[in-house]
Chains A and B, each alone.
Chain A
Amino acid sequence: MSELNLTDNKFIQFHQKIGFKFDGVKYYGYKGDTIASALLRNNIKLIGRSFKYHRPRGFYTCGIEEPNALVQIISEYSEPNTRATIKKIYEGMEIESQNRWPSLETDIGSINNIFSPVFPAGFYYKTFMGPHKNFWKKIYEPIIRKAAGLGKPPKEFKAVSTHLYHNVDITIIGGGLNGLIAAKSLIDTKYSVLLIDFDDQLGGILNNSNKVQSVNNQTPMDWISETVKEIENSKNIKLLKNTLVTTYNYINHLIAVEDKFVGSRPLKDKVNSTLHKIRTDQVILCNGHIERFLSFQNNDLPGIMLCSSFEKYMCRYGVIPSKETVVFSNNSNSESLVFSLIKKGFKPKAYIDSRSGENIEPDLFDLIRKNDIPLYTNSQIKEAYGNKKLQKILVEDSSGGVNEIKTDFLCLSGGINPDVHLFTQSKGLLDWDEKDLTYKPAQAFQPTITLGSASGQFDFNAINKEINEKLDIFGIKPVQIKLKLNTSHKFKIEKLWEVLPQKQTIWSKSFIDLQNDVTTKDIRQAISEGFDRIEHLKRYTTNSMGTDQGKISSINALGIVSDLLDKKVNEVGTTIYRPPYAPLSFAAIAGRNSYEYYDPERKSPLHNWHITNGAVFEDVGQWKRPWYFPLSKDETMNDAVQRESKNVRENAGVLDGSTLGKIEIKGKDALAFMNLIYTNSFSKMKPGTSRYALMLGEDGMVKDDGIICKISDEHFIATTTTGGAATVLGCMEEYAQTEWPNLNVYMNSITEQYATFNISGPKTRNIIEKVFPEVNFSNEAFPFMTFQFHEYEGTPIRILRASFTGEMGYEIYVPSNQALKIWEKIINFGKEFGLKPYGTETMHLLRAEKGYIIVGQDTDGSITPLDLGLDWMIGKSKKDFLGKRSLIRSDTVRKDRKQLVGILPTNKNEKLEEGQHIILDKEIKTPTPMLGHITSCYQSPTLGHNFALAVIKNGQSLIGTKAFASTPELKTIEVEIVEPIFYDKENTKLAS
């Protein structure tokens, strides 16, 4: 075991052993371990196979920047692509490695590595072009998808998450050294402060390295616990641990995800994660820096790790990945690792630095010399070798000689980058620092302050000055932090992006993006092919497009590109950093808006009656509407609809129409307003009458329809389609407020206040006379398209004589809370006349027989009233209404517009389908000119015929001609184009 010590500390509870499974084998770790630290404890260094070439990969880092160590958590709904370097273990956890088959050790896909010379950048784009366009979808894509990729998507999955909102003055992101100092200085000020850290332990670099010896004469651990206690006890600072800020939007709007089950198995019935939505006046970014790697041949072998990550495993987790490691660096960041290794008694096997001896920090130089560590200055690692693990490296020294060093581990440091991801998301600008060789925040776009290494300020001695200057705007007391360091306080680096190998073969690989298997060769090729703009190059090579977003490598790519193009890095620029900073689950984003809470369900006041009576429901907008009422479980929808529709035509049926939108319009100018909103003219209408009306958009297209009841010139009630109610009300409000504010008119939705029953059929009058004996339903007293107000056992009701089925019918409007009582009465009284409830499908069939359209089904936003043959509904005498002028636009008066027609198949039993194209030729020869398409089609028991409605170019003039409907199997069905009305063309039944 690779343990350093076994005494409990705040990071690891060594007395608490935890068992978990990796690829089916049981291992033990301790409470506080990540998957990575626990596996390293068990000497597991191979963790997965790479994306494209299936190369063996190990742990490269110890944090969120990890490109390789992605695993599938079987015990959590098989959650894929989890970073093993941050996910903590718990008892019974099951983990699997990804992208390997049949096993991690023996992976068939690794043959890709041998064939790699034929997979250069842009390989897929160039290769899979032919011979036929179907080859991509049917052959190439399925094969490639199987071979490439990361984890498998979870199958059954129901995560629970909630959203939480914060409104604070200051948000500090990152609770490391600078974040803690900043938070401490804001204790008991007038500001409300939120301090957010991704870790469960605050302290950052103080926890992860031995750089700092003491803070204010305390050990770093004592200083942290004292400071955190003060912050926790303060009244104005709220602390969020285990919370990752993923997004920095405009107007200082931050999104952060909190993991509620760090180090334990998520409970199914508890909130797993919380999405924090934060509004803040000021953001202080203290999110530190990320170490980057270096490119040389086989720099991806398991056993190669970043220097600071190695040190973090030692300091934080008490595990040493190797007791004999080699260190390779071009900067001063490796100093603290060498210090830590020597302190623990595991001095490095060799220290290789690309800098010359006099440029290496004197303290580091002395330390190496004193401990007899082989030192290679002015040297570079040319190549690494090994089979599934590092075995040896080739070092070119200052004299040009090549030395072979046998080692199983190598620590790398290619420099450090401020973690500018959030800063650039906020649209802050970066500038390249030629001295420190990295992009640093230069100009904030929002009220953003950066502190410490996040601002590119790598000098420990300048911390006080920076904080006091930048936080002066809050009027804080100047801070005086005394730091004692184990290493040099300044950062120094010499340029090195890539070491070219001794001899280059077609299999040579020095990686620039480990997760996406992009090599430096790919970058060169992309540039030589002309993809020299950094955004193009990124997409062509897929460099930095993995889930790690190239956190340890994207800057190296810029360095290499700038050298190749002989441009300054600032001229090359960076690609744009987009949210999220690290992947966050859709479950967290969805929050409570998932499954049954995804969309509100609206139910009619009779919903429970429908359930009791066996209705099958259909979603119409947010509404649940009875679709049909099967007599038994065996009755199909088709059978039920045939039966229900026949019954309406022969006896009577009743439909729950409560979901229809209802809008009440009142005001002195209500008449003028309605005349402007709808196409019809309401001026000459008598009070107590109603009219079928159309509403257009300003483009002249049909937007909605409904029946308008005129109570008086100052009072109307309009019905709308079920789905269009909100839009129609919104449109009325918009025009009332913005275009005609001079009109005295008010409107209100009364959809939910009233239930609506649509009774129709030849026996309707018999039934309704029995239910409402005091009302005179004769044709003279109650003509078609009139309405009356009545009272039923103390309940005010409105009865409208109208029909959507073609039979004589009435619509009864009842206050919702009385709806069930009256509905049941109608059902009971109607029994002897054969009255049955019917659903929306039967309603669709009946209205189509009569040629009534449904807006949104027979129209699609490109159909005018003229196209529907509804010229009679346009108030021609009116000077203006919505869309009027558009009806004489050159486009709307075109002769070849699609017009509504009826369709009858020559063979009356031939089945048509909605969406089928109508064409003129019997034989389909591509391209076939398409006349239009079928919008509604049904099998009618009344007609004994299948029929359809369709919109067809110049359709009104084609009535009486033959045409063909095309099927997906490229067959044709002979049909006849007819008038769009199939039942009671003379309207005798409506007024009977």
Chain B
Amino acid sequence: MLIIDCPYCGPRDQSEFSNGGEAHVKRPDGSAEIGDREWGEYVFIRANPKGIFYERWVHSHGCRKWFNCVRDTSTDEILKIYKIDEERPKLDSFKNNVKTPSGEPNLGSGNFTVKK
């Protein structure tokens, strides 16, 4: 369970929020000139990276405001939270260490060592 620092209300429990998937997916206007591929990617395709991920959250049981968040999906660490109209922080401003909580350790927890 995350603690999410709502830019309008402050740090609150994850149960007050809803996740809105990948952030910075610009909606093309819905006119017929948009190609099937471009429109299909907007409607159906979302990134799901291991590591640094730009995503949206909404404080649905609070101020009901949408905001953006940068989270390391491998560790669940929240790296940055910013308002919807703020500029997207550059990827290289974060350390992408992919320190997985359970994946590929040298040590014995989990059965990953036998995968090699």
Chain B associates with chain A: yes
| Residues of chain A contacted by B114 (CB below 8 angstroms) | 533-534, 571-573
* A427-B101, A698-B43, A734-B58 as given contacts; A251 in contact with B110, CB under 8 Å: no
Q: Which of B20, B31, B108 contacts A432 (CB 8 A)?
A: B108
Known: A253-B1, A571-B114. A439 touches B66 (CB 8 A): no
Which of these binds chain A: B33-41, B47-55, B89-97?
B33-41
**Which of B40, B66, B107, B111 makes the CB contact (< 8 A) with A889?**
B40
Measured CB to CB, the closest approach of chain A to B97, in angstroms, equals 13
Jot down 21 A-B pairs with beta carbons below 8 A, ordered by A.
A253-B1, A279-B3, A427-B102, A429-B109, A430-B107, A430-B109, A443-B107, A445-B101, A534-B114, A570-B108, A571-B114, A573-B112, A574-B111, A576-B109, A576-B110, A698-B43, A884-B31, A885-B32, A886-B39, A886-B43, A888-B32
Q: Is the interface on chain B under 10, 10 to 19, 20 to 34, or 35 or more residues?
A: 35 or more
Q: A592 → chain B, closest Cβ, in Å?
A: 15
- The 8 A CB mask of B76-91 against A (1 = contact, 0 = none) is 1000000011000000
Residue contact A439 to B29, C-beta cutoff 8 Å: no
C-alpha spacing A424/B109, complex, angstroms: 7
Interchain CA distance A250-B14 in the complex, whole Å: 11
Residue A622 is within 8 A (CB to CB) of chain B in the complex: no
B31: which of A428, A577, A879 is its contact (CB, 8 Å)?
A879
Residues of A within 8 A of B42 (CB): 698
- CB contact under 8 A between A430 and B108, given known A533-B114, A885-B31: yes
Interface residues of B (CB under 8 A from A): 1-3, 13, 20, 27-32, 34, 36, 39-40, 42-44, 56, 58, 60, 64-66, 76, 84-85, 101-102, 105, 107-114
Contact flag A574-B39 (CB < 8 Å), given A249-B1, A880-B30: no
Assess the A737–B30 pair: CB atoms within 8 A. no
1/0 per residue, CB under 8 A from B, across A877-913: the answer is 0011111111011100000000000000000000000
Inter-chain CA distance A574–B108, complex, in Å, is 6
Q: Determine whether the beta carbon of A429 is less than 8 Å from that of B84.
A: no
Contact with B along A536-577 (1 / 0, CB 8 A): 000000000000000000000000000000000111111111
Taking the closest CB of chain B, its distance from the CB of A745, in whole angstroms, is 15
A739 and B27 form a contact (CB under 8 A): yes
User: How many contacting A-B pairs (Cβ < 8 A)?
Assistant: 109
User: Closest approach, in angstroms, between the C-beta of B21 and any C-beta of chain A?
Assistant: 11
Sorted from nearest, which 6 A-B pairs have the closest CB atoms?
Answer: A427-B101, A884-B30, A880-B30, A429-B107, A885-B30, A573-B111
Tell yes or no: A730 within 8 A of B by CB.
yes
Inside 8 A of B110's CB, which chain A residues have their CB? 573-574, 576
| Contact (Cβ within 8 A) B2 A250 | yes
Interchain nearest-CB distance for A831 vs B (Å) = 45
Q: Smallest Cβ distance from B90 to chain A, in angstroms?
A: 21
Complex interface: chain B residues within 8 A of A534 (CB) = 111, 114
CA distance A698 to B108 in the complex (A): 46
- With both beta carbons as reference points, the residue of chain A lying nearest to B31 in the complex is identified as A879
12 other A-B residue contacts (CB within 8 Å) besides A251-B76, A885-B28: A251-B1, A427-B101, A429-B105, A429-B108, A430-B107, A430-B109, A432-B108, A442-B108, A573-B113, A574-B111, A737-B66, A882-B30
For A533, give its contact among B44, B109, B111 (CB under 8 Å). Answer: B111
A169 located at the interface, meaning its Cβ lies under 8 Å from any Cβ of chain B in the complex:
no
A:857-893 near B, CB below 8 Å: 879-886, 888-890
Structural contact, A880 and B31, CB atoms closer than 8 A: yes
CB distance from A134 to the nearest CB of B (A): 37
Contacts of B27 in A (CB 8 A): 698, 739
Check B107 against A733 for contact (C-beta < 8 Å): no
- In Å, the complex CA distance between A199 and B28 comes to 61
Is A741 positioned at the interface, with any CB of B under 8 Å from its CB?
yes
Please state if A734 and B112 are interface contacts (CB–CB under 8 Å): no
| Contact yes or no, A442 B30, CB < 8 A | no
Q: Which residues of B contact A429 (CB under 8 A)?
A: 105, 107-109
Q: How far is the CA of A572 from the CA of B108 in the complex (A)?
A: 8
Q: From residue 210 to 262 of chain A, which have CB atoms closer than 8 A to chain B?
A: 249-251, 253
